[in-house]
Amino acid sequence: MAGKIEAIACDYDRTLTDESLVLSENAVTSLKSARKNGIKVFLASGRRLPFLLDVNERRGFADVIIAENGAVIYDPADGAKILLGEGLEELRSAFAGVDFVEVEEVIVATTLPYLKDAKEIIRRNGLSVDIELNRNDVMIMPKGVDKGSGIAKAAHIYGIDRENLACIGDAENDLKMFGVAGVKVAVANAVDVLKGEADIVCSEPYGDGVKEFVQSLAA
């Protein structure tokens, strides 16, 4: 393992939750314990900020929320918010009124069956974007914005050296997160491609895998 872990960046769906997207109390308890021991907790997800904010307000386990697949960074302590990426207005305007997408604060979200149609809108409008897949979900983002860039920005803001940063995930869009991590951790239910890149593959799935990793730091 790298040096002493100073921050843990954790995915939400199927990492902190089970397959039914129920949040793991075991994971929450372990992350709160990590915070008490001086480790920063970054909650990083493709989901919108209001949803993640609500989750954290009820549980109080995250120091930083990185929403919309890295595009939005929010500090719950002081309400400071940063939006990452260029061409945000062009992206939102190109997909305004399109019924098969959700236009979020920065990114545009849809599902795999509509990927071809979304690519046609991107081509027609000459947009410079990145497309990321997360199981059946498709995220369209400003060029260069992803979970990795969002986490790297947050680490810089909070003075965390990347070699002391652990990232925990389960799906394809967590590969970019792994790219900025000192320690790459895959829960047991992770897709094979992520497990192949991981430094640590937990023996437990979902939130119990998060708990397993956090407890290993205190061993």
Helical residues (DSSP H) of the chain, grouped into ranges: 25-36, 49-59, 88-95, 115-125, 147-157, 175-178, 192-197, 206-218
Mode of pairing for the β-strands spanning 129-134 and 108-111: unpaired
Reply yes or no on whether 11 is catalytic: yes
Catalytic residue, chosen from 11, 63, 170, 208, is 11
CA atoms within 13 A on the CB side of 69: 28
DSSP string, 109-133: EEEGGGHHHHHHHHHHHT--EEEEE
Question: Catalytic residue numbers?
Answer: 11
